[in-house]
Amino acid sequence: MCNTKFQGRTNMAYRSLPKRARRHLRGAPFGPMPVKSVFLDRDGVINRGIGDGYVTSWKEFEFLPGAKDALARLCASGLRPFIVTNQRGVARGRLSQAELDDIHRHMLAELGQANVRINGIYVCVHDEGECPCRKPQTGLFLRAQEEFPDIEFASSVVIGDSLSDMEAGTRLGCWTILITQAVQPDIVLGEARRRGIVVDRVAESLWDAAVRHLLPLPRPT
C-alpha cells in the first residue's frame, strides 16, 4: 500500500515545518481547538493496547471507556475522524493482513451502531525502517490527504498515546493531543520538548480530549 512516492512528500512536509507560531497558544486557556479533521491513533486511544504485544483478533479488541461516545459526539459536531495506526505485528507475522482487516471490519460495525462514521483507516503494517508510513513518519496522513484533498493539516488534530504520534503531528503542523494517564506527565512532556515535539494538550482519554479540548462547552439542558 505504501510506496516510495510518499518519500518526497514526507521530506517536503519535514522541510516546511511550521515556525511554531502557535506555540504561545499552549499556555492559553483551554477552549475548543479550531479543527475539522481528527487523526486518531488506535491502540491506547480507541481500544485498550496490549502492552508490548499486539491485538491479534476481534476477541482481544476492547474499546476504552467513553471512546465510542466521544467519537459519536465528534461526528455529531461535524468533525471528521480518521484512524492512523502502526501495526507492525503484521510484518512480524503475529497476525495476517486478513486478520487485521477482520478486526477493523468488526470495529467499524460496532462504531457504526454508535453513530460513528470513520472516514478512513490508514495502517502501516511494516517494521521499523522499511517504509515512509510508520509513525512518526507522515505517509499515512499524506495518503489520507490524497483521498480527501480538502484535509488541511493546520486545521487537523492528531490524538495519540505516544510521542511518535505527537512527532508525526508536529511534522505536519497539526494540533496535537497526548493521551496519558501518567501521574507526572511532566516527564514525557519534558522528553517531547527536548526532541522538539509539540504537545498542544494533554488528556486522560479520548473522551476527556473530546469534551475538554475539541467540543464546544456543553450547554445546560
Tell me which stretch binds Zn ion (CB under 5 A): 14-22, 134-142, 149-157, 205-213. Answer: 134-142
b/e 109-147 (16+ beta carbons within 10 angstroms → b): eebeeeebebeebbbbbbeeeebbbbbbbbbbbbbbbee
> Considering the rule CB under 5 A, would residue 167 count as an interface residue with Mg ion?
no
Is residue 127 annotated as a catalytic residue, yes or no? no
> Considering the rule CB under 5 A, would residue 140 count as an interface residue with Zn ion?
no
Distances (CA, A) of 199 to 80, 133, 174: 21, 21, 10
3-class secondary structure, 158: strand
Tell me which stretch binds Zn ion (CB under 5 A): 33-41, 64-72, 119-127, 148-156. Answer: 119-127
**Which residue bears the cell 503531528?**
169
161: partner contacted, choices Zn ion, Mg ion, none (Cβ within 5-8 A by kind): Mg ion
Total residues in contact with Zn ion, by rule CB under 5 A: 6
- Interactions with Mg ion, residue window 27-46 (CB under 5 A): 41, 43-44
Is residue 43 annotated as a catalytic residue, yes or no? yes
Interaction mask 122-161, Mg ion, x per CB under 5 A: ---------------------------------------x
| HEC secondary structure over 63-122 | ECCCHHHHHHHHHHCCCEEEEEEECCCCCCCCCCHHHHHHHHHHHHHHHHHCCCCCCEEE
> Considering the rule CB under 5 A, would residue 134 count as an interface residue with Zn ion?
yes
For the annotated catalytic residues, the residue numbers are 41, 43
Q: Given the rule CB under 5 A, which residues bind Mg ion?
A: 41, 43-44, 161
